[in-house]
Structure 1
Amino acid sequence: MNRTMITATNTLAQLQKQMDSISHNIANANTNGYKSRETTFSDLVVQEFRNQPQDQLEANRLTPYNIRQGTGAKIAQSQLVLTQGALKTTDRGLDTAFTKEGQFYTILAQGEDGSSSVSYTRDGAFYLTPVSERESMVVTGNGDSVLDENGEPISFTGTPKEFKIAGNGEFVAIMADGSSQQRNLGVVRVDKPQFLEQKGHNLYGLPENLAALGVTENDIVTGLNGALPSEIAIQQHTLEQSNVDVSKEMTDLLNVQRGYQFHSRSISIADQMLGLVNGIR
């Protein structure tokens, strides 16, 4: 097959993945606490042809020696961008937002197969759901349990009348009889966001092949409860908006579409050239 076709086809598949990533960012521009992703490219295998027997014969050459012929490009990394999103004031006592980058709530996410796993989110819109006649549990908008500093679901006995959430994650429920119950929100700091995987529903989790990647859970996330509560920065009656810059994403999308058209056109031209060659008698 014509090398032009091979190069263009390899790159087209990667451009489609970048287009999907940008589209995902745009679709979540209004999702609370959503963090965008940026893709970067690198070259595939490059073949080098020596066009001179000696480098000294490359007189006055400013570019690298020899002739390099590539086979396309690939996505090298899809980087999670943890920049702070805009803060929006609300009137709900269970609405919270981080005011520092890299901090996440710990959530017990329920899988479709009934299994559960610890995940992380920046979406601080919490809700109260009854689990019995006298007990209520704090959950996310998807119904997943919000965990405390010990990894246990946060629940309160009785009927909460008011909630007070301090900047260091102290979660206090004031009951109708005037008594109060306190929990501490489970918070982690993400040190290596490139290892986080998107789990759906605005949740992130650790990869299953940590050993193969040569990292441990402690390398990726650090629990901020216990000895490090002063680092937690939470604001009540506030929600963090996504950090998606729609104008930038639209510009990137147009550039990717232009690149996609260019490589598609390369395949068409290569096909026409092959047709001309096959037609020579």
Structure 2
Amino acid sequence: MNRTMITATNTLGQLQKQMDVIGDNIANVETTGFKRREATFTDLLVQQMDNQPDAAEEVGRLTPEGIRQGTGAKLGQIQMIMTQGTIKTTDRALDTAFTKEGLFYRIQVQTKAGYETQYTRDGAFYLSPLSDNETILVTSSGNPVLDENNEPVIITGQAADYTISETGTLVVNKEDGSQQTINLGVSLVNNLQFLEQKGGNLLGLPAGIDAEGVFTDLNGNLRNQISVQSGALELSNVDLSKEMTDLLTAQRSYQFQTRSISLADQMMGLINGIR
């Protein structure tokens, strides 16, 4: 295999990963609170041949010295883009939308290792009965929503109506005239690069990463940093026209690399056919 084939093969695998990222964005264009990801490339190691023995001849040169031959490209980073999505009014009491970037609800998810706290911007909440006198606040997937003490939000008694304030406080007015107030668990992300997708429109942290350095829990006086619009949902920030353009560009690059392999194979065939 010659260098042309090696370079093209290295790049093909990375382009496939980029198309996978774009395809995931397109698939989630209608997913509430979804944040698109963007793949960026960087060069692999290059081989440099210094063919100019006289340094005086290179004075004023703007490009790197010598001749550089690369070995392809690789994905340098897959970055989550946290720009605000469009707000859609639903007039449903338990629908909420963050109006600031970087805010997430804390969600309790059961994994093989036990219960784990994960994060989402999907503010479509529902009520699930626990008993005749208790209901629990959950996501559309049935995962419990956590309060500011990282405990599931449990509503007791018979509720008449619900309101959610701008600072993420759930107020339950009950049929007997009493009132229950619960501060929903909201966190501010500090280091996006640590987040990974967990499935089900949830984000989490890799094993061994402490959430304290990545998230700030907005409790107490920090709750004034929360900005929630009730009766509304935040749509995804995926621009379908941009994603389709990026997909076509990636596919064209993929075609160029496969064409390079075909041409290199043809040239090797010609060389092998020389008698």
TM-score range, shorter chain: over 0.9
**What does the per-residue CA deviation read over 1:229-272, in whole Å, with 9 as the maximum and x for residues that have no partner?**
10000111000000001111110000000000000000000000
Within the candidate set 246, 250, 253, 1:252 is matched to: 246
In structure 2, how many angstroms separate the alpha carbons of the residues matched to 1:264 and 1:190? 41
Partner of 1:91: helix, strand, or coil?
coil
In structure 1, how many angstroms separate the alpha carbons of the residues matched to 2:97 and 2:84? 10
Q: Which moved more, 1:113-122 or 1:143-152?
A: 113-122
In structure 2, how many angstroms separate the alpha carbons of the residues matched to 1:190 and 1:99? 15
**What does the per-residue CA deviation read over 1:42-93, in whole Å, with 9 as the maximum and x for residues that have no partner?**
0111111111223223477542210111111110110011100000001210
Shift of 1:149: 0.2
Shift of 1:159: 1.9
The equivalences for 1:5-154 within 5 A come to 5-58=5-58, 61-111=61-111, 113=112, 115-154=114-153
Within the candidate set 227, 235, 239, 2:233 is matched to: 239
In structure 1, how many angstroms separate the alpha carbons of the residues matched to 2:6 and 2:229? 53
Task: Confirm or deny that 1:221 pairs with 2:221.
Answer: no
What amino acid maps onto 2:270 in structure 1? L
What amino acid maps onto 2:6 in structure 1? I
Q: Which moved more, 1:73-82 or 1:217-226?
A: 217-226
Partner of 2:266: 272
Partner of 2:186: 187
The TM-score, its normalising length taken from structure 2, stands at: 0.97
In structure 1, how many angstroms separate the alpha carbons of the residues matched to 2:231 and 2:42? 44
Contact 1:92–1:237 (CA under 8 A) maintained in structure 2 = yes
What amino acid maps onto 2:211 in structure 1? E
What amino acid maps onto 2:51 in structure 1? N
Contact 1:55–1:65 (CA under 8 A) maintained in structure 2 = no
In structure 2, how many angstroms separate the alpha carbons of the residues matched to 1:79 and 1:59? 39
What's the RMSD between the two structures over aligned residues?
A: 1.3
In structure 1, how many angstroms separate the alpha carbons of the residues matched to 2:131 and 2:60? 82
**What does the per-residue CA deviation read over 1:8-64, in whole Å, with 9 as the maximum and x for residues that have no partner?**
000000000000000000100000000000111101111111112232234775422
What amino acid maps onto 1:93 in structure 2? A
In structure 2, how many angstroms separate the alpha carbons of the residues matched to 1:4 and 1:185? 56
In structure 2, how many angstroms separate the alpha carbons of the residues matched to 1:54 and 1:72? 30
Partner of 1:213: none
Partner of 2:165: 166
Shift of 1:176: 1.7
The TM-score, its normalising length taken from structure 1, stands at: 0.95
Q: Which moved more, 1:170-179 or 1:50-59?
A: 50-59
In structure 1, how many angstroms separate the alpha carbons of the residues matched to 2:21 and 2:123? 24
Shift of 1:7: 0.5
**What does the per-residue CA deviation read over 1:180-223, in whole Å, with 9 as the maximum and x for residues that have no partner?**
1111000000111111010000000011132xxxxx42221111
Query: Between Structure 1 and Structure 2, how many residues are aligned?
Result: 275
In structure 1, how many angstroms separate the alpha carbons of the residues matched to 2:194 and 2:95? 28
